[in-house]
Structure 1
Amino acid sequence: MFSPYYKKSGRPDPVNHSALNVALYGPGARWTMTERPREVVSRDADTLIIGPSTVRWTGDALEIDIVERDKRLGIPWQRNVRGKVRVIPEALNARAFSLDPQGRHRWHCLAPRARIEVDMKQPGLSWKGSAYLDSNFGSESLEEGFRVWHWSRAHSRHDGGQPDHGRGAVVCYEGIRRDGSAFASALRFGRDGTPQEEDVLPPVAPLPNTLWQMERKTRADRGHASVIRTWEDAPFYARSTLSTRLFGEPVVAVQESLDLDRFANPVVQFMLPYRMPRSPT
């Protein structure tokens, strides 16, 4: 959805602009998003093949076989990025949510809670931890539908207000549509994946701008949250880890902010191919 080639083409064929985005932070950091054409993309109900990489649903886990090369500004050579990631849902949610009155943009939190197993060969690192899986889809481009949005997700020990049950999750989603109207929601997912929309949202918690002066904000009890670390700081996108409280519980949240006006800027569109190359294979 952020492909400059797809945008320039007029977006007639999304499969012709397929990519697997891999972002590894910290020591051994890698970042890949190589776009590939329809000729090297295939898919069925359980499998998506994009060039040398494969994503498959095994029935109880989403397995991602990564065979990519990273892209760094100003560096002429690329490093291999190879390994396997398994995402094992702990809860599944069947309900998708519309982000606009016309239903042109929909968001589906497939697994509000999941476990992850990462086994990378290049670079050599591995770990296990908590995960999350969602999907955005629609009938028009993001910049046609929105100016900006902010999203955050946190695992919770509570489940529908019953702490003994545990294994819940909280997702806050808000933004400004292209027509200027605002939307906001706070969803609490039970351990079975059932979503509950909160009638009263936590207050807005402003966050400091990034180095690219991206505006960030989230929702939190008493309107206060702090940034633990900014993982991704780009001209139109930021990803961060937060320390906050939601519905009376201290949590660590992942937060994202996206500015579609910045994304559509011609200067940003000119820069993107240097970060997102296109390969015939």
Structure 2
Amino acid sequence: MRRLDLALPETPKGDAWRDALPALPDTPGAYRWFYADVTAGEYSAVCIFMVGSLFSPRYSAGVKRGALPLEHCAVNFALYHRSTRRRWVLSEYPRAAVRVLGGGRVLHIGRSMLEYGLDGTVCMEVDEQCAPFGGPLRARLVLEPQVMAADEVQLVPGLPHYWRALAPRAKARLEVLSEDVVAEGMGYHDSNHGEELLGARLPGWHWARVHGPEETVVDYHLPGGVAPLRVTAGALGTKSERRPLLAEARDTSLTGWGLRVPARLYAGNEPVDEPRLLESSPFYARVEARRDGLDVMGEVADFRRFHSPFIRWMAHFRTRVERAV
């Protein structure tokens, strides 16, 4: 995969990722995104910076004509109160930029920015309009990692899709200025990247992260009989491993869109609760559960569905297409 001149070296292992921003992709179908979530009291929020947006119907339709990931960058932010969505941002832009600020590295998409500071903090600032026709939203999420980053792993042997838990367990401060929300809690941060369009050969996945009192566990489930991945992060360090397939499949249920989601969310083998649907669409669902100091956030994605012309048409109604800023 070719690299842009504006990009910085690939993320090294260990703690050194904190002052480096990975190179951005520039080949058709490639993507890289940076995901973070936070649970803070009655609030939870998700923020994603995307280069080669997985939510972009224009990128999905244009790849065969040579559409480039930097032409389809996006910022997604969702705020939830007691598992009910309060605000939704999905803004798509035709460019992104990387610059050095005070020795740290900053990714700019529109008026929003993602910064990796030299002190180890991760800061996401969102300055957008709610989609599709909502008012302005300004938010700031700051993560202070409490554990080492995990090693990068290949999701499926032989396919060019990769995942890395950069800050699997972090102190978090969430400020949503336009909603008068200030809250502190637990945060999580990871990054995915790949060299081909999701759904081309990798049909989908589901994953969940569990914050407990002492450690965080992330389970990543993949299709086709591929052994799931697990990251465990706590006082004893951060460990990545492949787990054996479950002897018995866990129960699932169908959303109103016919997407199959877990019927219960688990902390290891311990059921936490029935998931609450934060987001539900024909190809994507976001779920949450909390009980007795355990907090679970997860996602289910079927990327093959997204490439249906009808689903791409529907996706236009949850997106704002913006000019470069």
Structure 1 and Structure 2 fold alike (TM over 0.5) = yes
1:208 counterpart SS class: strand
Give, in whole Å, the separation in 2 of the partners of 1:279 and 1:229: 32
Q: Does 1:139 align with 2:195?
A: yes
Give, in whole Å, the separation in 2 of the partners of 1:280 and 1:44: 20
Check whether the contact 1:204–1:223 (CA below 8 A) recurs between aligned residues.
no
Judge which range, 28-37 or 198-207, deviates more.
Answer: 198-207
1:32-51 equivalent positions in 2, closer than 5 A: 32-38=89-95, 41-44=96-99, 46-51=105-110
> Which residue number corresponds to residue 49 of structure 2?
none
> Which residue number corresponds to residue 189 of structure 1?
233
* Equivalent AA in structure 2 for residue 187 of structure 1: V
Give, in whole Å, the separation in 2 of the partners of 1:222 and 1:250: 16
Deviation at 1:225, TM superposition (A): 5.1
Instruction: Evaluate the alpha carbon distance shift between residue 187 and residue 120 of structure 1 in structure 2; reply closer, same or farther with a 3 A threshold.
Output: closer
> Which residue number corresponds to residue 272 of structure 1?
315
> Which residue number corresponds to residue 31 of structure 1?
88
Instruction: Evaluate the alpha carbon distance shift between residue 196 and residue 53 of structure 1 in structure 2; reply closer, same or farther with a 3 A threshold.
Output: closer
> Which residue number corresponds to residue 282 of structure 2?
235
Judge which range, 204-213 or 29-38, deviates more.
Answer: 204-213
Tell me, which stretches of 5 or more residues in structure 1 are unaligned? 158-165
1:7 counterpart SS class: helix
Give, in whole Å, the separation in 1 of the partners of 2:85 and 2:308: 31
Q: 1:58 aligns with which of 113, 117, 121?
A: 117
> Which residue number corresponds to residue 127 of structure 1?
183
TM-score by length of 1: 0.82
Check whether the contact 1:188–1:198 (CA below 8 A) recurs between aligned residues.
no
Q: Deviations over 1:226-272 (max 9, x none)?
A: 3242111111111111358xxxx983311211112221221101111
Q: Does 1:216 align with 2:252?
A: no
Q: 1:169 aligns with which of 216, 229, 249?
A: 216
> Which residue number corresponds to residue 161 of structure 1?
none
Judge which range, 201-210 or 252-261, deviates more.
Answer: 201-210
Deviation at 1:148, TM superposition (A): 2.8
> Which residue number corresponds to residue 257 of structure 1?
300
> Which residue number corresponds to residue 38 of structure 2?
none
> Which residue number corresponds to residue 160 of structure 1?
none
Tell me, which stretches of 5 or more residues in structure 2 are unaligned? 1-53
1:44 counterpart SS class: strand
Give, in whole Å, the separation in 2 of the partners of 1:111 and 1:142: 24
Give, in whole Å, the separation in 1 of the partners of 2:199 and 2:99: 29
Check whether the contact 1:93–1:195 (CA below 8 A) recurs between aligned residues.
no
2:149 counterpart SS class: coil
Check whether the contact 1:207–1:227 (CA below 8 A) recurs between aligned residues.
no
TM-score by length of 2: 0.72
Q: Does 1:18 align with 2:48?
A: no
Give, in whole Å, the separation in 1 of the partners of 2:233 and 2:271: 22
1:91 counterpart SS class: coil
Q: Does 1:88 align with 2:144?
A: yes
Give, in whole Å, the separation in 1 of the partners of 2:79 and 2:56: 20
Give, in whole Å, the separation in 2 of the partners of 1:200 and 1:102: 19
Q: CA RMSD in A?
A: 2.5
Deviation at 1:113, TM superposition (A): 0.3
Instruction: Evaluate the alpha carbon distance shift between residue 199 and residue 138 of structure 1 in structure 2; reply closer, same or farther with a 3 A threshold.
Output: closer
Instruction: Evaluate the alpha carbon distance shift between residue 255 and residue 35 of structure 1 in structure 2; reply closer, same or farther with a 3 A threshold.
Output: same
Q: Deviations over 1:135-178 (max 9, x none)?
A: 11011111113223110111234xxxxxxxx3x211111121xx
Q: 1:8 aligns with which of 61, 64, 71?
A: 61
Q: Does 1:111 align with 2:144?
A: no
Identity over aligned residues, as a percent? Answer: 28
Deviation at 1:220, TM superposition (A): 5.7
Superposition misfits of 4+ residues, deviation over 6 angstroms: none
Deviation at 1:200, TM superposition (A): 4.7
Instruction: Evaluate the alpha carbon distance shift between residue 133 and residue 153 of structure 1 in structure 2; reply closer, same or farther with a 3 A threshold.
Output: same
Q: Deviations over 1:89-118 (max 9, x none)?
A: 111214111012125000101111012111
Instruction: Evaluate the alpha carbon distance shift between residue 187 and residue 174 of structure 1 in structure 2; reply closer, same or farther with a 3 A threshold.
Output: same
Check whether the contact 1:62–1:88 (CA below 8 A) recurs between aligned residues.
yes
Check whether the contact 2:228–2:243 (CA below 8 A) recurs between aligned residues.
no
Q: How many residues align?
A: 259
1:102 counterpart SS class: coil
